[in-house]
Structure 1
Amino acid sequence: MKTLSRLALCALLATSSTAALAGSFQKVDHGIIVSPDKGPAKRVRILAFGDEAFRVTAIPDENFEAVSDGVMVTAKPDGDPVISEDRGTVTLKLPSATARVNLTSGQVSFLDGSGKAILSESSRAAFEPKTVEGQKFLAVRQQFNRGTDEGFYGLGQHQNGQMNYRGEDVELAQHNMDIAVPFVVSTRNYGLLWNNNSITRFGNPKSYALAGSEGDGLKIVGTDGKPGWTAQYYLGDRLAVTQSEKVINYQYIRDNMRWPEAAKAQTVASTAGQNTAGNAVQTQRVIWSGKVTPGKSGLHRFRLYSSSYVKVFVNGKEVLERWRQNWNPWYHNFDVPLTAGKAADIRVEWEPNAGYIALVHNDPIPDADRYSLSFTSELGQAVDYFVTAAKDMDGAIAGYRKLTGKSAMLPEWAYGFWQSRQRYETQDQLLDVVREFRRRNLPLDNIVLDWRYWEDDNWGCHCVDKTRFADAKGMVDEVHALNARIMISVWPKFYPTTDNYKELDKIGGIYRRMVEQRPGESKDPKYISKMYRDWVGPGYANAFYDPYNPKAQDIYWRQIRENLGDLGFDAWWLDADEPDFHSNLSIEERAYRMSPTAKGPGAALFNSFPLVHSEGVYQRQLISKPNVRPFILSRSGFGGIQRAGTAVWSGDVASRWDDLRDQISAGVNLSMSGIPNWTHDIGGFALEDRYTKQDPAHIDEWRELNLRWFQFGAFTPLFRSHGEAPKREIYEIAPAGSPMYSSMEWYLKLRYRLMPYIYTLAGDTWQKDGTIMRGLVMDFPADLKARNINDEYMFGGAFLVAPVTEFKARSRQVYLPAGADWYDFNSGAYYKGGQEIRAEAPYERMPLFVRSGSIVPTGPEIEYTREEPDGPIVLHIFTGADGSFSLYEDDGTSEGYKRGEYTRIPIQWNEAKGELTIGKREGGHGGMTSKRAISVRFYDKGTSRPVDFAENGKSAVVYDGSAVTVRKP
């Protein structure tokens, strides 16, 4: 009896609780629930998700039923961790990861498969009750790895040139150009997915405040000695108004209504962009000046939200100069070290042109907090996150996709060249472009029909204006006959007069707050026009549909399929799905108008709209055409959108050199957020007047900016030219035979030569959870210098890309990471890694380097991707190190890849033996050629001549699927 009692007691202690001096824990399926002895979290649940991942959920009460799984994660708890308890710590061990939880505090830490500590909660979870739309929520925060030296990447797409987020502040709130993905990947080879749909802050948990506002921490005195900024408003050269202003704040439409009457400029309606304010016809300037005295010493962080031309000076030195179209302002960051009690002179000079501006600020925080991993969300039900451990950063991203869904493959043609513009106004305009590309033998795979192909007063009809597109199906058929594809823009937006709106509204599928004013809100027609009417013609009332409502998703899909899809369009461009209801509304107003959704208040779901919207279309297209790969282009994204056959692009960026540079880190970090298919508007979307009007004094700069952007675009996952006037076709920008035209033609043809390499990278995104556009840190983790470089990246494992981002630059500094040697693509010169060089960058070429040991397959010169699916292959071997490549092929368009219908040809280069082995073909697919001409070209460090992918190799074989070995001559 005594023995049985002891066994029962041991079993009870092992399965249900631990010592009374600490908290207790209970085993549940796949994990445990801890009841900590102290702290704000009353329950902490840790569940296994496979061999390498855990989910941690902490709540301030005892009810996990209120905690939803959210929309990002599709995986379910899986695996049975080995659970043990020792001296107040419970350990959950999986094959490739371990979690430990302190029973007293409930704090959790993690180890990788080798037992190395990688992540630890630095503080207890923080909860603050909130009520929104009558529902109870929590503002939540969790900090990890306080004082860390690791690098952080991912977080979506942001526009401030930030590559490594260590020590940075990032707000995750969907906006045109800015994509929120609450996933971070660390140089410690783990990924953390913060499972929250609301607006979230990475870094400083305190939100930025208007500089000089109550509680901001800055004392501001104007040049006249009065509190606040001295604001001077000019019309032309005349000083119209001088006044003191506590803050600089014309951030949103309502704020602009406070503009001093005597300083208002005359305006005319805009003819371009999403511009409801119009354009000023009088020159305006505003200068804000002040002595700024901080209460704390340290690095003060400022964010200037602005459009039009702006400059910022600190103690007489210019620290910021930017331009952005006035209907799409955004933040520009600058940091200033300040000493408590010591004033600094700050001056902001702005040319408004009916634009927007605000200056916000945050005080310094201790370095240990600044250099930590911290997430703070405005609304949730719990501190809720997933951690996945791996051997490298690729593995961490693979773990993220295991949680949120594999990246669905795009059709092969998506990796060819796209021509687009804002916009083709008629059927003939669009067809003439495709015909001209074919006449000039310029490669092209996709032509894009942007918005307003409908009648202006009929937005949301999903129909074409027959006076301009008389035969839409015939147009699509001709595009197909010319061996191209066509994508069409569709919005989640409807005018109330359309039948589609009425059908959706009938089932509660419309955000009615977009058309219905609040009680007591102004009825002034000017106010209504600014706040509730769009920018088309006289301005129309409009509303978006609710994709959180499954019935609304069904109706939306049927409407676009029946009216447009059945005409034969090949892909969907889902524009403005942040959602961008109305440019220059405050975030609070956007969240209000997004409510109520079928799943709760818009503020609680704020960042998830693009995922739910895109996935609704993707899933229903698969039902409609089960064996055709859906393809969607979205202006926004969220965690998990890669599973929905969706690529994203960087939004309506400005056509400026700074913006070109910012796209590099934007694309890399979006890719490292687990979303591999990214693109951008080559040349930038919105232009300054000096470019739009083709001013002879500036046309050379405009052309060079386009050229440098085009060169960069050829080495991004998707290659797409788009923007506002002037026209973006290469023959419209530069005449045939000119250096610019010849360079763009060369990069077009180079892209298509590289299609076997590029499409293999695409196949790897599905089969190997690969990443096409890669931060240097992914391939060179031991090189600490590579962590922070924000203007270079890897394109696959072979190419180091160094875009040119300065006007008239004919060379640039390039860092070649340690851990590899490098070939200069343009000269053939050979360099050791771990050094910075001055690389030549002639007008016609961008610095490009190839890693030693690379195997790069190229194909024949073609004008569209499937022109020669069985064409000859040239294997380019860059000697100097061992190398491998696994050539991927399938039919390019079907869902067969999910069924194993593809081929792989493994290729190995042995440096010591001087042997290339082309291995036995693996797999098969419909239309596969049985024999293939393959030639091999070797590059040596002593060659020193430019790489030429148009040349065939000297060693040739007829490959029939059997292994063959080729020796280097």
Structure 2
Amino acid sequence: MKTLSRLALCALLATSSTAALAGSFQKVDHGIIVSPDKGPAKRVRILAFGDEAFRVTAIPDENFEAVSDGVMVTAKPDGDPVVSEDRGTVTLKLPSATARVNLTSGQVSFLDGSGKAILNESSRAAFGPKTVEGQKFLAVRQQFNRGTDEGFYGLGQHQNGQMNYRGEDVELAQHNMDIAVPFVVSTRNYGLLWNNNSITRFGNPKPYALAGSEGDGLKIVGTDGKPGWTAQYYLGDRLAVTQSEKVINYQYIRDNMRWPEAAKAQTVASTAGQNTAGNAVQTQRVIWSGKVTPGKSGLHRFRLYSSSYVKVFVNGKEVLERWRQNWNPWYHNFDVPLTAGKAADIRVEWEPNAGYIALVHNDPIPDADRYSLSFTSELGQAVDYFVTAAKDMDGAIAGYRKLTGKSAMLPEWAYGFWQSRQRYETQDQLLDVVREFRRRNLPLDNIVLDWRYWEDPNWGCHCFDKTRFADAKGMVDEVHALNARIMISVWPKFYPTTDNYKELDKIGGIYRRMVEQRPGESKDPKYISKMYRDWVGPGYANAFYDPYNPKAQDIYWRQIRENLGDMGFDAWWLDADEPDFHSNLSIEERAYRMSPTAKGPGAALFNSFPLVHSEGVYQRQLISKPNVRPFILSRSGFGGIQRAGTAVWSGDVASRWDDLRDQISAGVNLSMSGIPNWTHDIGGFALEDRYTKQDPAHIDEWRELNLRWFQFGAFTPLFRSHGEAPKREIYEIAPAGSPMYSSMEWYLKLRYRLMPYIYTLAGDTWQKDGTIMRGLVMDFPADLKARNINDEYMFGGAFLVAPVTEFKARSRKVYLPAGADWYDFNSGAYYKGGQEIRAEAPYERMPLFVRSGSIVPTGPEIEYTREEPDGPIVLHIFTGADGSFSLYEDDGTSEGYKRGEFTRIPIQWNEAKGELTIGKREGGHGGMTSKRAISVRFYDKGTARPVDFAENGKRAVVYDGSAVTVRKP
């Protein structure tokens, strides 16, 4: 993990005495600049954006010219605040927000439109000098709302089941599965965007350290009484090595080179997947044991970075058990309350299997600091952040998008079903899948061609291996003829032997440190293979291009357009854009190899690569095809990526029940980071051998895991099946007619029935800055229980989704938030809100509830999204409260929605009158349906019956765009 220097950390954590005299301020366009009397910040600039947002920039000198605007924010200051001064405090008042700055300290506080205090700087801005690549930077920190009781959400996508980040620590550093977005939205209805591109910590400002290392607060003694952990290395059942180790640290490739010679096992190439390091032939085990004595009492936080099988025991009790594929280890958090001076027994049991492991730790901090809003960044030029105030959390997210860009609409077909696999090796394999879906009448809109469609060693040629893809253009054409779309995987990676690499390298558009060793670095072939060669075949030298270089962006786009885009591919899968140069390099090594960029050292821009990369493709595609919506799928993201026609997915997660559960909070918080289009690999990407080999003893669990993940996926923004072997098509997982097959077929058809509802949610992301996948707290802010629930969410305003995340579970606890009543979708039973129930969860169904007052439009049974654009609509009215819905339609593919080419049909349900009003159609677009059959089906709490979207309503009208009223019978 990245660590601050002692000087920088001490400077960040130091406090300054309060000055006795007030400073001064001057008015500037749209704001003020304050010169505090004393303290680390010599200048504090506050600028207004619109009616509700401010930017605060604090610097330790007087030169704002060194502070860039960054890449996330596209808005310019345009607010017109009323500025006043009273007794050493300057107030900037906007219609919906107010900022106040103390002239003595330079500290800023904020109020919402009603005058209620929402946010205040709890301490002065902190700065620590740093030098990187010969350039001077600052480590920066700011703390807010010390001791707060508010809930925090957003921060991107993280994999530890954290929904509410109050009291949590989160490191924002791009990694496969972990997406850094330095934006947080609060239950006080404000959003804070921390304007920094480098590695950033939310929560405890102190970096986590290897447990037992110098500077860590733990004293560790082994079972033999010697300092450090007692490490026992087994080969099979034979104890091969016993030694004392100060820390548990085989975290990265270089660390693994220290493995004890006598404990090395023979390995061979993996039979599946990308792990060419192999699976161990000899079974290995390592056990670390120690008595751990803390210097402080309180909640000690541990993070176990690991791959393969691992367990952690504290005082004999298992507190953690996980598996992850070897080439993609990640952190698993666990907290342990410890008493100063009192030892606890900790044991870590690991099956290495050529994997990685490290145990890191942080001491407790005072509760007032733990429960605060704190950002600490490795590199910057200022403490720089934006605050937007609103009336609710939706408004705060809308304010964020006003700053960073509206969420560009995806084409309608993107919300249909995606079938993918790692990987279709020939064009016949890919086409046979589309044909089979059509033969079986299974809905499908999209097929995906994953990596390595080229001939080795030509990564980056953007060309096809003619022996496997003899007619790539014909393949694309046939997909289109089958009424489907095709996405292709394109990486930012090139082999130096390709012409595309050479063209980029010629203009300085390649990260050459990926292929050039440091002076004095080992020339040993094994070292070079591990550190500088990829995992394909014998391993090849490779490098990524520099998207911060506009000329390189132009070349990159031209290369993929001429070689792939002109064939008719519909969407770009921009994989590995964290960027993941080489799995299991350290953070420091990744930052080093990312340098120099055209905009400065890679460490200073570390988190922003996916935004710059995706936006470069998006903008250039709009130039090439100005009236076609681009669609990009990215494995990573950053603040503002929603403006670039980009959906993100949760990366190469493991096929495990824990990972399924973690996707819920990961997807919700990514969505609450202002990025509404999210997806995941249904079934998980990487599998244990027991699943890959289809072991009869475990095949039922694999199938059930896939089914439960599929049920969940039907109610996420994008519905996408992908992963390594075994094959992921539903007819490959289970035979037709089986309960599993029938359930997946049912959810496929349900998803397509819901397309009028789902596409309206999609339209709302642009027109209303809406969020599709929603934390319960967004719709039920008054219900404090809803804040921390991490295994439920809202899908739009109507559906409460409660995925099943345990093997053989046939029921689960579901909390129904207060503030609404609820219909059980599967039974029709009616429940009052504000209670926890035990919901039935039969194998074929996932618990699903509909909020009273909801209006849910559904369409006909179709096999692709535009099969019946003028098909009949059924309005399902869930009575019990007033409700409204504004049905959105457009042509589904063009940029016309930005020009106002769309329709809205306002629909209102009046509970007291028992009347449904289908309002006058608003707007228009090419291909608009002039008349449509609409039927209405009412659900009432007095009649419990399962919801059936295949059944038409008994009240029907022919809607011609004029308002019509339908009364409940």
Contact map agreement 1:642 1:676 (CA 8 A) in 2: yes
CA displacement, residues 581-606 of structure 1 (integer Å, 9 cap, x when unaligned): 00000000000000000000000000
Query: How many angstroms apart in 1 are the aligned matches of 2:401 and 2:273?
Result: 36
Q: Runs of at least 4 residues of structure 1 off by over 4 A?
A: 1-20
Secondary structure of the equivalent of 1:836? strand
Change (3 A) 1:927 1:227: same
Cross-structure match for 1:655? 655
Change (3 A) 1:613 1:3: closer
Shift of 1:274: 3.9
Shift of 1:2: 63
CA displacement, residues 765-807 of structure 1 (integer Å, 9 cap, x when unaligned): 0000000000000000000000000000000000000000000
Contact map agreement 2:904 2:923 (CA 8 A) in 1: yes
Contact map agreement 2:16 2:40 (CA 8 A) in 1: no
Contact map agreement 1:277 1:530 (CA 8 A) in 2: no
Cross-structure match for 1:631? 631
Shift of 1:13: 35
Shift of 1:38: 1.4
Contact map agreement 2:888 2:904 (CA 8 A) in 1: yes
Query: How many angstroms apart in 2 are the aligned matches of 1:842 and 1:251?
Result: 41
Shift of 1:16: 26
Query: How many angstroms apart in 1 are the aligned matches of 2:651 and 2:748?
Result: 23
Query: How many angstroms apart in 2 are the aligned matches of 1:537 and 1:10?
Result: 48
Query: How many angstroms apart in 2 are the aligned matches of 1:198 and 1:240?
Result: 43
Contact map agreement 1:18 1:85 (CA 8 A) in 2: no
Contact map agreement 2:11 2:126 (CA 8 A) in 1: no
Query: How many angstroms apart in 2 are the aligned matches of 1:329 and 1:863?
Result: 39
Shift of 1:21: 3.3
Shift of 1:14: 34
Change (3 A) 1:734 1:105: same
Shift of 1:344: 0.0
Contact map agreement 1:203 1:370 (CA 8 A) in 2: yes
Contact map agreement 2:8 2:128 (CA 8 A) in 1: no
Query: How many angstroms apart in 2 are the aligned matches of 1:445 and 1:21?
Result: 67
Shift of 1:273: 3.7
Query: How many angstroms apart in 2 are the aligned matches of 1:273 and 1:118?
Result: 49
Secondary structure of the equivalent of 2:496? coil
Cross-structure match for 1:804? 804
Shift of 1:4: 56
TM-score of the aligned structures, taking structure 1 as reference length: 0.98
CA displacement, residues 467-524 of structure 1 (integer Å, 9 cap, x when unaligned): 1000000000000000000000000000000000000000000000000000000000
Change (3 A) 1:32 1:10: farther
CA displacement, residues 355-413 of structure 1 (integer Å, 9 cap, x when unaligned): 00000000000000000000000000000000000000000000000000000000000
Structure 2: gaps (5+ residues): none
Secondary structure of the equivalent of 2:687? coil
CA displacement, residues 323-347 of structure 1 (integer Å, 9 cap, x when unaligned): 0000000000000000000000000
Contact map agreement 1:276 1:534 (CA 8 A) in 2: no
Change (3 A) 1:594 1:99: same
Cross-structure match for 1:207? 207
Change (3 A) 1:291 1:885: same
CA displacement, residues 687-716 of structure 1 (integer Å, 9 cap, x when unaligned): 000000000000000000000000000000
Shift of 1:211: 0.1
TM-score of the aligned structures, taking structure 2 as reference length: 0.98
Query: How many angstroms apart in 2 are the aligned matches of 1:236 and 1:346?
Result: 23
Shift of 1:3: 61
Shift of 1:292: 0.1
Query: How many angstroms apart in 2 are the aligned matches of 1:3 and 1:230?
Result: 26
Cross-structure match for 1:72? 72
Shift of 1:25: 0.1
Shift of 1:271: 4.5
Shift of 1:942: 1.2
Query: How many angstroms apart in 2 are the aligned matches of 1:91 and 1:3?
Result: 38
Secondary structure of the equivalent of 1:576? coil
Contact map agreement 2:309 2:350 (CA 8 A) in 1: yes
Contact map agreement 2:14 2:126 (CA 8 A) in 1: no
Cross-structure match for 2:12? 12
CA displacement, residues 512-554 of structure 1 (integer Å, 9 cap, x when unaligned): 0000000000000000000000000000000000000000000
Query: How many angstroms apart in 2 are the aligned matches of 1:853 and 1:9?
Result: 53
Change (3 A) 1:252 1:84: same
Query: How many angstroms apart in 1 are the aligned matches of 2:257 and 2:281?
Result: 18
Change (3 A) 1:2 1:71: closer
Contact map agreement 2:445 2:485 (CA 8 A) in 1: yes
Shift of 1:7: 50
Contact map agreement 2:12 2:128 (CA 8 A) in 1: no
Query: How many angstroms apart in 2 are the aligned matches of 1:95 and 1:284?
Result: 65
Change (3 A) 1:277 1:82: same
Cross-structure match for 2:127? 127
Contact map agreement 1:16 1:27 (CA 8 A) in 2: no
Shift of 1:10: 43
Shift of 1:278: 2.3
Change (3 A) 1:9 1:479: closer
CA displacement, residues 259-311 of structure 1 (integer Å, 9 cap, x when unaligned): 00000010112344443532211100000000000000000000000000000
Contact map agreement 1:17 1:26 (CA 8 A) in 2: no
Query: How many angstroms apart in 2 are the aligned matches of 1:307 and 1:29?
Result: 53
Contact map agreement 1:18 1:25 (CA 8 A) in 2: no
Change (3 A) 1:90 1:236: same
Contact map agreement 1:178 1:650 (CA 8 A) in 2: yes
Contact map agreement 2:18 2:38 (CA 8 A) in 1: no
Query: How many angstroms apart in 2 are the aligned matches of 1:847 and 1:8?
Result: 51
Contact map agreement 1:17 1:24 (CA 8 A) in 2: no
CA displacement, residues 13-40 of structure 1 (integer Å, 9 cap, x when unaligned): 9999999931000000000000000110
Change (3 A) 1:881 1:532: same
Query: How many angstroms apart in 1 are the aligned matches of 2:147 and 2:106?
Result: 21
Cross-structure match for 1:454? 454
| Root mean square deviation, CA, Å | 6.1
Query: How many angstroms apart in 2 are the aligned matches of 1:6 and 1:463?
Result: 50
State the identity as a percent. Answer: 99
Contact map agreement 1:17 1:25 (CA 8 A) in 2: no
Shift of 1:209: 0.1
Contact map agreement 2:4 2:207 (CA 8 A) in 1: no
Change (3 A) 1:5 1:127: closer
Change (3 A) 1:608 1:2: closer
Secondary structure of the equivalent of 1:877? strand
Contact map agreement 2:905 2:921 (CA 8 A) in 1: yes
Secondary structure of the equivalent of 1:318? strand
Query: How many angstroms apart in 2 are the aligned matches of 1:36 and 1:777?
Result: 38
Secondary structure of the equivalent of 2:933? strand
CA displacement, residues 596-650 of structure 1 (integer Å, 9 cap, x when unaligned): 0000000000000000000000000000000000000000000000000000000
Shift of 1:11: 39
Change (3 A) 1:4 1:475: closer
Cross-structure match for 2:117? 117
Query: How many angstroms apart in 2 are the aligned matches of 1:810 and 1:516?
Result: 56
Shift of 1:80: 1.1
Does the alignment pair 1:142 with 2:136? no
Change (3 A) 1:19 1:512: closer
Query: How many angstroms apart in 1 are the aligned matches of 2:301 and 2:346?
Result: 13
Secondary structure of the equivalent of 1:623? helix
Shift of 1:70: 0.1
Contact map agreement 1:191 1:397 (CA 8 A) in 2: yes
Query: How many angstroms apart in 2 are the aligned matches of 1:773 and 1:340?
Result: 43
Contact map agreement 1:16 1:26 (CA 8 A) in 2: no
Cross-structure match for 1:721? 721
Contact map agreement 1:18 1:24 (CA 8 A) in 2: no
Query: How many angstroms apart in 2 are the aligned matches of 1:887 and 1:41?
Result: 51
Contact map agreement 2:306 2:329 (CA 8 A) in 1: yes
Contact map agreement 1:276 1:530 (CA 8 A) in 2: no
Query: How many angstroms apart in 1 are the aligned matches of 2:693 and 2:631?
Result: 35
Secondary structure of the equivalent of 1:522? coil
Query: How many angstroms apart in 2 are the aligned matches of 1:351 and 1:633?
Result: 34
Query: How many angstroms apart in 1 are the aligned matches of 2:871 and 2:353?
Result: 55
Moved more, 272-281 or 766-775: 272-281
Structure 1: gaps (5+ residues): none
Secondary structure of the equivalent of 1:408? coil
